[in-house]
Structures are given as C-alpha cells and as structure tokens.
Amino acid sequence: MQLFYNSDLRAEDKEFCFDKNESRHIIKVLRKKPGDKLNITNGLGFLFEAVIITENPNKCTVSITTTSSIASKGYSVHLAVAPTKTNDRYEWFLEKATELGVDFITPIICKRSERKTIKPERYKKILEAASKQSLRTHFPILNPAVRFEEFLKTKTEEDRYIAHCLEEGQPHLKDELRSKKNILILIGPEGDFTAAEIKMALDSGFQAVSLGRARLRTETAAIAACHTIELYNA
C-alpha cells in the first residue's frame, strides 16, 4: 500500500483536491488515472480510501469512498533529545524514531549542547515522509525546542526516565518499563548531561536508567530507547 498525506482532510469530507506538487507526483510520476484508488491519511488517526475523479496534474481531485478511524496503540513514547552537533544525525534520528513508533519529540537544549537551534519546518517534513513510508496514520508531534531546566517544569502523565553515562550500576530501561504506560525519556548531548542536570532531573521525579554497556551517540541512544519501549510493548 502507498500512503498519501494531507493535514486538511476531515472525517466528514466526501471530495478532496491535492495541491499542485502532490497532484503532479500522482499524475505525472505515478501515472495514476481516473478510477484508480488511493489511500490517504490526515496524520490524526484517519485512513481515507479514495478514487481519482480528475487527472489534472495541477489539481488532482478524488472522491472519498471510505473513512476509517484507526485506534492508537494505547500508550505514547516521548523522546526529549538534545540536538546533535551535525544536523544530519538528528534528521536520521527523526526518520528512524518515526519508523519505530515515537509519538512526541522535544529537542532539549542542555548545558553541553553544541548546537542550540533546530530547523522545525524541515524536521516536520522528515516526520511526514517517514510516517508515510512506514504507513502510519498517527503522525508524531514535534514540539518546540526548549531549555532543559524549563522542560523539567512540564507536568505530564508519563513514566519519566533519564539515560546518562555519568555513573554505572543503573537499571536497564527494559527492566523498569511498565506495560502500555506513557513513557518520557531524556537523552543528552555529546558529552552527556552535567551532574547538575542529572540531579535536577532526579529531583523532578525522573528515574536514571541505562541503555546497555556501550557508550552510545545521542541519536543512537534515542533509537535504542525507542526500540526498547516498542519491543517491550509488542
């Protein structure tokens, strides 16, 4: 199945027009014709089955034949991850975490962060492309970048963890998870969290965990955490 996306689609819609770029892709690249079927999502949990009415490469029109509400998995995975020094590594993380099932991503700016700015519009496009590729109808949400200490003030209904390398002997994340619970995990920058940041997190109700014996890059640690959570709940 190939999945198309448009955030403007609503459950009550019966007809819909793609924008110029998507229309050209459907008609000129994929060579779709009137009567061909398409699967579309709005990223909010709906799957629309549609039939092409007009093959205009500037304004492809479809008729919605079936609308389905796809249930969420019953828990959420929230990764709060410091931006990496090179942007392409963070973009790789965004793509792979989306494929694995992350629900929320918050870039956190830490004391040792070497990069303190992000490209939200580009990041959102990466999340959209990865969601379509992995056939997700619930797209992950990218939150604005926030300073570490400000993020800790956020009150959420989540089991809260911080993964760091400052000390040994911490329990592995997989041994602390609870089935079908909303999870938030903090992943620090190159150089890790500072001792003061770790103490702030622990004082704010976070539990320190390990992701294994090896020392991982920021983006690798985030993916390891996401995969561990999803595998535990499989």
d(CA 79, CA 222): 7
Which has more pLDDT, 150 or 55?
150
Q: Is the pLDDT of residue 168 over 90?
A: no
Q: Average of pLDDT values for 194-211?
A: 97
The answer on 90 and 41 residing in a single domain is: no
- Count structural domains, the chain: 2
Q: Are residues 57 and 86 in the same domain?
A: no
Q: pLDDT at position 169, please?
A: 85
Averaged over 96-116, what is the pLDDT?
97
Measured distance CA(113)–CA(233) in Å, rounded: 32
Angle at 215 between CA 210 and CA 216, to 5 degrees: 90
51, 136: one domain: no
Confidence band of 75 (pLDDT split at 50, 70, 90): very high
The arithmetic mean of pLDDT across residues 140-155, rounded, is 96
Q: Is residue 183 pLDDT above 90, yes or no?
A: yes
Q: Are residues 111 and 175 in the same domain?
A: yes
The H-assigned helical ranges of 29-161 are 87-100, 120-133, 148-151
Q: Tokens in use for 228? A: 């561990």
Locate 95 and state its tokens. 């793509």
Q: How many residues does the chain have?
A: 234
Say yes or no to pLDDT of 157 above 90.
Answer: no
Residue 39 confidence class, pLDDT cut points 50, 70, 90: very high
pLDDT band at 1 (very low <50, low <70, confident <90, very high): confident
Domain that holds residue 134: 77-232
Is residue 139 within 8 Å of 128, Cβ to Cβ?
yes
The CATH number that applies at residue 185 is 3.40.1280.10
Instruction: Let me know whether 88 and 65 are in one domain.
Output: no
The reply to whether 56 and 105 lie within a common domain is no
Statement to judge: residues 10 and 113 lie in one domain: no
